[in-house]
Amino acid sequence: MPKTLACLDIETTGLSPDRDKIIEIGVAIFDFKERKIIKEFSTFINPGVAIPSQVTNLTGITDADVKTAPKIADIKTELEEFIRDYPIVGHNINFDIEFLNANGFEIKNLRLDSIDIAHIAFPKTDSYSLEIIGKILDVEERGKHRALSDVKSNIEILYKLFDLYFSKTPDIKNILEKSASPWKEVIKIASENCKTFKLNQKKSVAKSQKKVSFEEDKLLAEIADLVPENFIEENPENKTIICAPEIENGIHEPANYLEQKLFEKFLQKETFTPEETVFALKIIPLIGDREIARNELTLPQNGKDLWWDFACASLPENIIKKLTTDKTILISHRTLAKIALQMPELIEGSTLIILDADELFEHTRESLTVRYSMKRLGESDTVTMLFAHLGIMAEKYGEGFEFKLEEHHFDTPEWQKVATLIEKLPQEDRVVKFLNKSKKYSENLNLSIRIFEDGTPLLTITPLNIGAFLEEKYWSKAKRIQLFSSTLTFAEESPKYDFIKSSLNLPLDIKITPSDEKKIYIEKTSSDLEKLMEKEEKPIYVLTGSQRACEQIHAESALNLKNAGIKLLAQNSSGGIGKIKSMLKETPGKTVVVGTYDFYKQAKPEIKTLIIFRIPFPHPNAVQIKCPEAEKFKKYALPATMIKLKKIGLKAEKIISLDGRMPEYL
């Protein structure tokens, strides 16, 4: 049983092991059981190339620091003798070892990724970066993004993660005995030597100080910021369905719930892969008398894939009971679409309140979109042949990784073979029935084939007649309907609310309640973006049209702004959404965030100034509506984008546009 481990971290000039270079290495050999560091190794590395400014901004390492440092080949023997055959711990350790192996090393030691243990200890958190996890655990900050400092922090974090997990977790010996996880033996030591540990729980800050009539109801407290006071009746006569874009509490679609019987059966397996081990250990402490929802968890990518093996195919019985008995229910836009298809009687005669109604069209379309993979349809010769022919068709007629079927493609010999194979699938499954109905051309459906990097096809069917669906399933059934949003129109729209009414097929007498439809002035300028980021009031959000633009702005301006005492955070370049949210909270008055509209929606940062670098019009292929191609921009892309911009603009005190296409008012 290994009790001596090596913890390793490197700093590099970039993210590619093949193109970029190592500039610093830090390693500590430590006794895991006794919790003490035995010896340390640390050195700068001369990369033979200039260090990019964004790397200096991140690490503080300059060309002068590495000028007289050894080359990577010069320390190879010393480092290999130092590490020996100890298991190597690191946060995202594959990155470090792949870099070393690309630079002449042949490290074959057991790899122990501490992100796995962070996922086990924290079922849900904004970010699993070493920096953010360290702050949550009150680990002393020894210096960000310096190799040996990060190594020492990583070791302390590892101890605290295990102590936290085993302070609240039942016996997991059965899982460990059958696990193929590289952490298996280390976890056993941790379970036998853990110390009592409790998080320093800070007082939570309420999302809103606004009082609502349902003040004690956590479901309705969640939407307090989205509705005016007294908007929702107390003790309503009819069932009231409150529908919001995203919800934490409330009722979700079936796939958001864990099928506990399937999970319990899974725990009886003979063996567990490393990924299955992390998944099981993450969920076991949550098992109890209530339903476990997907939104309670932050899952790694392989965990997201595993979730679908245990997701409910239909709503759990106690959730159905809640839906049918509660007078007021809170659900998401996407869930309402599923309910309308599977339990239409719930909407009949109800009071239907749609919050952020401008997002209803997109969310309904996403909910009704069906994606067919080989895994979803099950393994069989018919399914294998079906997807082989889809791949052949995409290769023959498509360009790039995604191929949209036009009307004439449905008459090709290739599609006829696909249609014949679809008919041979078991028709009891609801999703297969829909696939069978969709095999012929329809102006109300968009079919596309996407080819993944491994060559696997994915067939996606997207409905285009969303307005007709809403009219049939929502507006014609509900007794009372009310739409609410911070904005549902924009300055140049005439007549007002035309886009919302036409895209959602709204009845003429429906009540629309915008919170504020004042015009917002846009200051148009051709000034240098970096100067604007430096002088305007912060926090600032710089809105771009693409992730590439975010990366470019960060690379060009991060170091200069840092020297001016300003923190520049960019989508992906500075970490994930959770990490950026946490970093923004530290120094909001000195921070600029650069991101796309979708990033803003997820991060929801508080801002003083909005800088529109590029208007985020959707790509023409992304506009999937039942409409002549030439009219898509005017009827959908333009009004939808202006409303999105106004929603962000209402959160800012000042709006500046560097895009000359921007109107003077929103």
Q: Are both 177 and 40 inside the same structural domain?
A: yes
pLDDT at 467 over 80: yes
Mean pLDDT over 469-493 rounds to 91
Span 570-597, average pLDDT: 92
Q: Are residues 334 and 270 in the same domain?
A: yes
Looking at the 3D structure of the chain, how many domains does it have? 4
pLDDT band at 629 (very low <50, low <70, confident <90, very high): confident
Flag whether 468 is in a domain.
no
**pLDDT tier, 132 (very low <50, low <70, confident <90, very high otherwise):** very high
Please state which of the ranges 344-358, 359-373, 421-435 shows the lowest mean pLDDT.
421-435
Examine residue 224 and state whether it is found in any structural domain, yes or no: yes
Residues 379 and 363 in one domain: no
Is residue 504 one of the residues assigned to a domain? no
- Pairing of β 88-90 and β 4-12: parallel
Same domain, 21 and 151: yes
Query: For residue 592, is it within any domain?
Result: yes
CATH number of the domain bearing residue 86: 3.30.420.10
Catalytic residue numbers, as ranges: 145
Domain annotation covers residue 555: yes
Amino acid (one-letter) located at 471: E
Structural domain includes residue 559? yes
- How much is the average pLDDT of 384-411? 91
| 32 in the same domain as 161 | yes
Q: Which residue has the higher pLDDT, 379 or 492?
A: 492
pLDDT at 543 over 70: yes
Q: Is residue 487 in a domain?
A: no
Domain-terminating residue out of 368, 399, 418: 368
Q: Residue 211's pLDDT band (boundaries 50, 70, 90)? A: very low
Say if residue 176 is in the same domain as residue 290: no
- Direct distance between the N- and C-terminal alpha carbons of the chain, in angstroms, rounded to an integer: 66
Q: How much is the pLDDT for 19?
A: 94
Q: Which of 424, 439, 455 is the last residue of a domain?
A: 455
Residue 510, Ramachandran bin (φ over 0: left; ψ between -120 and 50: alpha; else beta)? beta
For 538, the domain range is: 523-657
**Whole-number percent of the chain with pLDDT over 90:** 62
Do 254 and 362 sit in the same domain of this protein? yes
Look up residue 5 and give its amino acid. Answer: L
Strands 370-372 and 351-355: what pairing?
Answer: unpaired
Residues 626 and 581 in one domain: yes
Q: What is the DSSP string of 578-647?
A: HHHHHHHHH-GGGEEEEE-HHHHHHH----SEEEESS--PPPGGG---SS-GGGHIIIIIHHHHHHHHHH
- Which of 70-74, 366-370, 495-499 has the highest average model confidence (pLDDT)? 70-74
Do 597 and 628 sit in the same domain of this protein? Answer: yes
Residues 32 and 170 in one domain: yes
* Same domain as 404, residue 380: yes
360 plus 381 within the same structural domain: no
Q: Residue 585 belongs to a domain with what CATH number?
A: 3.40.50.300
Last residue in a domain, options 420, 455, 490? 455
The answer to whether residue 540 scores a pLDDT higher than 80 is yes
Question: Whole-number mean pLDDT of the chain?
Answer: 89
The answer to whether position 496 is within a domain reads no
pTM: 0.84
CB 541 within 8 A of CB 596: no
